[in-house]
Amino acid sequence: MRVPLSWLREIVELADDAASVAKTLTMAGVGVEGIEDDVLVLEITSNRADLLSIVGVARELALLRGARLKAPVPAVREAGPAPETKVEVVDSSLCPRYTARVVRGVKVAPAPAWMQQRLKAALGEEYVPINNVADITNYVMLEMGEPLHAFDARCLRGNKIVVRAARAGERMVAINGREYALEKADLVIADAERPVAIAGVMGGKESEIGGSTRDVLIEAAMFDPVSVRRTSRRLGVASESSYRFERGVDWETVELASRRTAQLVAELAGGTVAPGAVDVSVPRPEKKSCAVRFERVRKLLGMEVASERIRAIVEGLGAKVERADGERMVVRPPAHRRDLAIEVDFIEEIARIEGYDRIPTDVQLGLSVAADRREDLVREEIRSTLTGLGAFEVLTWSFEEAGAKPVVTHWSKEPLLPLRNPKGHVDRTLRNALGPSLLRVLRTNAGCGETLHPVFEIARVYYEPGVEPMDRSVLGIASAENGGLAGVRTLVREVLARLQIAFEIDHDEIVVGGASIGYLESGISEIFPAAAVAELDFDALVKAASLVRKAKPYSTHPAVRRDLSMSFPKNVMWTAIEEAVRRLGIPILHEFSYLNHFEGPQVGEGRRAIAVALTFLAPDRTLTGAEVEAAVGRVAAALTSAFGAARR
């Protein structure tokens, strides 16, 4: 929201510079993003729609500074016959109030230079002045916060306005020159035959103000914020009007802004305002009164605030004090402040106006040390382990595109759970595994020429095992290192070792305590065939983990290394060899690792030579050559028996 200080000074007495005004607003909780050529650039939160106008900001400053407010009070001279235009509102819940006022005999021309300059200051230099009538509607919108629209009355067929839902197949060319296909969920302003505006979003081309316009119909209305937001997002059309309607306008400002617009059109475009206005509306909404207790204010703020001061602030907010005594007052919240409804809302405002810096900070608060949750400790152990091994933690979307088929079915073989948008269409599905998301990360990194570090994520997956949808916390790891599968297997082993969990890897299943807690898999679909993934049930890891570190005596005796080369059938995978050796449970075998492999005539057709390194170590003695050779012989014999390997 851009607020020219020169415009602001016409409504509220301000003698100081922009920096001082900005400080006043900032200390009261109104965000000031910057100052540009005597223009305040404000960041307005969604609950303060009343500040989306010059009058609203002036009202705020008048309260903060104790200054006099000089809000415009429009007065129009009416003449001629009353408007003949009929207005019909089909659904008052989507349009609680619609007013139409007619100005006859206007002369369309450029707006005065002062108005053009003011609009450029408030909307940015990119704003292109249109004409005096259209610029006046924008001017009043900025001034009072109520979006308006002006129709060429001659172009309204049947001399009628109908506020209704769009009909199937209807289309409209907007004032931006683009044609839009409308749907039943879109609220439109129509004449007797076709839509002439998209309610709260943008007017239509056929009824816009032009050089031949003589009679103008001024629309000022109140539209349902959700309806405007939904249509604006669907059509991809955002405007200053939709921005304000989405945050809500108040019932009372509708007619006030209509009169202000008519006044300026008569003054600057030479028109005659027709008597009265067509006003179709629900009964004026009355906000419920609430009590504000003086002692309650002091207790919550922790400081002394005089009862007279409390009342002055509440009245300065625009609230009406209906009755008061020495202990409390009953107030009716102002219409323009949708965020004020109950006592604590007013107490918060009193704190803001008095100044947060005045609230004492010497109150002693009791502190207690919170115990770390077990799942948080396990999560940090996993993160520490994987990042220490060069992996990167990532965050990926929890959904897939509509129509996606399950790529991984380890957790559930059911179809992916659908997500429906507000119209009931399925445009997303919830993921049932982390693997595909992680592989897409690796694919993206590879496409950008990045080093393919392993990636991991701890997040939820969703599935439907029966009647009720379920979710599960999962640790997912993906890697393209060491051929993919071997790299992922190594990372899984390190994580489980760090958590001191005894496990087995049975083919592609990760087994703990006789139950499968996850899987290993490579070549998932065509996402990134060069990589592999693993997924483990995070809750199972939390349950099985041992977080108490057990000290192991450090051996002062020398380790002995032996290299072993054997030929295997080519279909034997390294992971199977590794698992077979580990199952032997040789006490003095400290490390078993891959060195290299070789294929060629020397090895034989259909075979592969694999070299491994075996490191032997005993904690209490120096190993003898006979012990080491016996252990190497056991390894060679086991591989020969399991895979038909031959020692080279």
| pLDDT higher than 70, residue 140 | yes
Q: For residue range 106-121, what is the model confidence (pLDDT) as tens digits?
A: 999 999 999 999 999 9
Closest CA to 222 of 197, 252, 198: 252
- What's the pLDDT at 146? 96
- pLDDT bracket for residue 281 (50, 70, 90): very high
Ranges 158-162, 410-414, 575-579, most confident? 158-162
Pairwise CA distance, residues 502 & 576, whole Å: 18
Contact by Cβ (8 Å): 218, 265: yes
Beta bridge partners of 474: 459, 537
| pLDDT higher than 90, residue 195 | yes
Burial letters for 459-471: b for 16+ Cβ neighbours within 10 Å, e otherwise? bebbbbeeeeeee
| pLDDT higher than 70, residue 188 | yes
Helix runs in 389-469, H state only: 435-447
Span 168-177, average pLDDT: 94
Type of residue found at 76? V
- pLDDT bracket for residue 365 (50, 70, 90): low
Identify the structural domains of the chain with CATH numbers, from first to last: 2-65 (3.30.56.10), 86-281 (3.50.40.10), 290-356 (3.30.56.10), 374-544 (3.30.930.10), 560-647 (3.30.70.380)
Contact by Cβ (8 Å): 318, 340: no
Contact by Cβ (8 Å): 296, 343: yes
Q: For residue range 463-506, what is the model confidence (pLDDT) as tens digits?
A: 876 656 678 899 999 988 777 787 888 899 899 989 988 888 87
Contact by Cβ (8 Å): 331, 299: no
- pLDDT bracket for residue 127 (50, 70, 90): very high
User: Look-up: residue for tokens 């032009």?
Assistant: 210
Mean of pLDDT over the chain: 90
Q: For residue range 237-272, what is the model confidence (pLDDT) as tens digits?
A: 989 999 999 999 999 999 999 999 999 999 999 999
Cα-Cα end-to-end distance for the chain: 80
Pairwise CA distance, residues 398 & 411, whole Å: 15
Pairwise CA distance, residues 9 & 21, whole Å: 11
- What's the pLDDT at 503? 85
- pLDDT bracket for residue 421 (50, 70, 90): low
Q: For residue range 39-64, what is the model confidence (pLDDT) as tens digits?
A: 999 999 988 999 999 999 999 999 99
- What's the pLDDT at 424? 58
The interaxial angle of helices 625-643 and 574-584, nearest 10 deg, is: 130
> Element (H or E) spanning 296, and its range?
helix 294-301
> Element (H or E) spanning 534, and its range?
strand 532-537
Span 531-551, average pLDDT: 88
Contact by Cβ (8 Å): 559, 614: no
- What's the pLDDT at 177? 93
| pLDDT higher than 70, residue 363 | no
Closest CA to 483 of 440, 520, 537, 511: 520
Closest CA to 175 of 154, 196, 147, 146: 196
User: In the chain, what are the helix, strand and coil shares in percent, each to the nearest 5?
Assistant: 35, 25, 40
- pLDDT bracket for residue 166 (50, 70, 90): very high
Pairwise CA distance, residues 324 & 291, whole Å: 9
